[in-house]
Homo-oligomer: A and B are copies of this chain.
Amino acid sequence: MGNALITDLYELKMASSYLQRGMVGPATFSLFVRRLPTNRGFLVAAGLEDCLRYLESFAFSTEDLDWLENAGFPVDVIERFSALRFTGDVHAVPEGRVVLANEPLLEVTAPIAEAQLVETYLLNQVTFQTALATKATRCRLAAGDIELVDFALRRTHGTEAGMAVARVSAIAGFVGSSNVEAARRFGLQAAGTMAHSYIEAFPTEAEAFRAFAEDVPGPITFLVDTYDTLEGVKTAAAVIRDLGLTGSVGVRLDSGNLAQLARETRRLLDDVDLSEVRIFVSGGLDEYDLERFRVNHVPIDAAGVGTRLGVSTDAPSLDSAYKLVAFEERPVLKLSVAKATLPGAKQVWRRLPFDEDVLATRNEPGPTGFEPLLVPVMRGGCRVEPPDTIEAARLRLTRDLDGLPPAARVLRAPTVPGVAVSERLRLLTDYVTAGVRNVNDG
């Protein structure tokens, strides 16, 4: 099965032209985010694993080639497309690391047609997964001791996005996901309670609670707000005591003033010696709600975060770019207003706890005590390492977050850590800029 048509038409047009002209020299493209969205003090790199899987399997199918021939692409180009695989090198920031504006998340070096054809998919995956990983991390930072579960699948932009949200929220430290396919695919803890419809399908709430407790494997959480929330809590408490339920048992609040209801629920449960019964909340939550719960010491044990995580409501996309920075060993750049780029392959150097990161040319030595963010992940079209694990990404994220200044971690009006440009990169930029000006003035 081909995946090469999952791209923008212009990539195919440009690749066609390059191949017709024998332009097969190596090009380096750099994928980075130009600006952080409002209220973001950092981003969390994600999407790389899907990019590598795509690059490994990049190919045109016979049907793809037939379609292109009908669309007017020359026969000799069709033949070259037929044999084309991704044979390039990729340097990238591993998933889970904190990244900032203008720091490359990924750099591709490959014959220019190959490097161009993969632009659309790489931008797509890195952009949306990084946006969502960042949102999930904000929720996790805000929630303090409250456990978080991904409830987003019903509101993500398709099921592919749903799988990505489950995975990146696990990287961010969520304890589980309602998404069963994602739980299976990524080895996550599947989590879920019951819907209002279940309660309504029984003559009374108490009968529904009893039936659920008797029938369903795993932890039991009673949804108590179908009719009257506090009455629902009492009903759940009675069922828990009657059936002698132990282990992981909880009640879920899904509407109303959650903070107030959680306090009253805690009191009701404690009054009947059910202090071990957990309180789970859900319903349109985001990092701001979670922070309020934490700051106000609302007695909540766990929260399901859905829609606002799943589409990253306040910043559903990032201003990402995939820019040519070198072609045939020659560094290049673009001078367009507000979209100027820095030339050449790059490295980002970091010291923890965060000092200023340093954006540098790829091969210059880094400052003493700094570590490089970009690592080789693909050589000649093959992975350098076996697929990354969620656990490894989570550890990287924890380490970077621990090193971030508190002012970069706050939810509102954060202070973004600085990114310095190395002397050598600055000189290169000046040099290339002068050259570009000359060529086009001449």
Q: Give the contacting residue for A128; candidates B74, B158, B217; CB below 8 A.
A: B158
Within 8 A of B (CB), among A78-124: 112, 116, 119-121, 123-124
Give the residues in chain B near A9, CB-CB below 8 Å.
178, 180, 183, 190-192
Q: Give the contacting residue for A193; candidates B7, B10, B116, B439; CB below 8 A.
A: B10
Give the residues in chain B near A193, CB-CB below 8 Å.
10, 13
Give the residues in chain B near A255, CB-CB below 8 Å.
336-339
Give the residues in chain B near A124, CB-CB below 8 Å.
153-156, 158-159, 162
Complex Cα distance, B323 from A334, in Å, reads: 53
Interface string of A6-25 (1 = CB under 8 A from B): 11111111101110110100
In the bound complex, do residue B440 and residue A116 qualify as a contact, i.e. CB atoms below 8 Å apart?
no
In the bound complex, do residue B157 and residue A195 qualify as a contact, i.e. CB atoms below 8 Å apart?
no
Give the residues in chain B near A161, CB-CB below 8 Å.
157-158, 160-161
Give the residues in chain B near A324, CB-CB below 8 Å.
196-197, 200-201
Nearest residue (CB) in B for A334 is: B196
In the bound complex, do residue B181 and residue A335 qualify as a contact, i.e. CB atoms below 8 Å apart?
no
In the bound complex, do residue B125 and residue A155 qualify as a contact, i.e. CB atoms below 8 Å apart?
no
Chain B nearest Cβ from A144, distance in angstroms? 25
Q: Give the contacting residue for A17; candidates B17, B211, B337; CB below 8 A.
A: B211
Nearest residue (CB) in B for A179 is: B8
Chain B nearest Cβ from A32, distance in angstroms? 14
Chain B nearest Cβ from A287, distance in angstroms? 16
Nearest residue (CB) in B for A47 is: B158
A348 within 8 A of B: no
Within 8 A of B (CB), among A168-208: 178-181, 183-184, 190-198, 200-201, 203-205
Give the residues in chain B near A231, CB-CB below 8 Å.
440
Known A192-B8, A194-B10, A197-B324: A225·B158 in contact at CB below 8 Å: no
Nearest residue (CB) in B for A165 is: B157
In the bound complex, do residue A8 and residue B332 qualify as a contact, i.e. CB atoms below 8 Å apart?
no
A434 within 8 A of B: no
Known A18-B201, A156-B124, A196-B323: A10·B178 in contact at CB below 8 Å: yes
Stretch binding the partner chain, chosen from A65-73, A268-276, A393-401? A65-73
Complex Cα distance, B93 from A135, in Å, reads: 34
Give the residues in chain B near A194, CB-CB below 8 Å.
10, 13-14
In the bound complex, do residue B127 and residue A155 qualify as a contact, i.e. CB atoms below 8 Å apart?
yes
Chain B nearest Cβ from A252, distance in angstroms? 10
Chain B nearest Cβ from A79, distance in angstroms? 15
Q: Give the contacting residue for A12; candidates B125, B180, B200, B312; CB below 8 A.
A: B180
In the bound complex, do residue A313 and residue B307 qualify as a contact, i.e. CB atoms below 8 Å apart?
no
A233 within 8 A of B: no
Chain B nearest Cβ from A212, distance in angstroms? 6
Interface string of A35-69 (1 = CB under 8 A from B): 00000000000000000000000000000000100
In the bound complex, do residue B226 and residue A335 qualify as a contact, i.e. CB atoms below 8 Å apart?
yes
Q: Give the contacting residue for A7; candidates B151, B180, B215; CB below 8 A.
A: B180
Complex Cα distance, B153 from A6, in Å, reads: 9
Give the residues in chain B near A10, CB-CB below 8 Å.
178, 192-195
Task: Beyond the given A125-B158, A196-B334, A201-B324, please list 6 additional residue pairs across the A-B interface where CB-CB is below 8 A.
Answer: A5-B184, A16-B216, A16-B217, A124-B155, A155-B317, A311-B311
